[in-house]
Amino acid sequence: MLYLGIVFAYTVGTIIIAHVAKKDFPYWNITFLPLIAGLADVYITPFFREYSQYATFLMGREPYISGEYVLASVLMAFGLSLGVYGGFVMDCIFTMCDYLDINCLTVKKKRSVQQDGKTTKRS
């Protein structure tokens, strides 16, 4: 649930950014790859098992993502999506802060400007 929640949050974020920037609609992103790989492994492997005379290298093989590998694959997908989404959020925050010339969660210090030998604070 956490993996899919982060994937949907990232997808919604990219859709919003694409709409605001008037870019093309983002139909897919990198966080879909673990989901596609898992689905392909689960649904294609039984097909090859039935027609194993054509693919002898897959005879009797269980899907790769089965048994003890399920938890590892889910955690890998969760980590990948968390990293991609975290990078996206940080990029959005830094881009907006640079564009608006503000600091995020801090108070910006006033710069001092020296004119005619006097130091004045500039707001």
pLDDT tens, per residue, the chain with 123 residues: 899 999 999 999 999 999 999 999 999 999 999 888 888 877 777 666 665 555 555 555 555 666 677 888 889 999 999 999 999 999 998 888 888 888 887 777 776 666 666 665 555
Element (H, E) at 24: none
What is the per-residue pLDDT for 72? 85
What is the per-residue pLDDT for 66? 64
Which residue type sits at 89?
V
What is the per-residue pLDDT for 74? 87
35 class by beta-carbon count within 10 Å (0-12 exposed, 13-18 middle, 19+ buried): middle
What is the per-residue pLDDT for 115? 62
What is the per-residue pLDDT for 17? 92
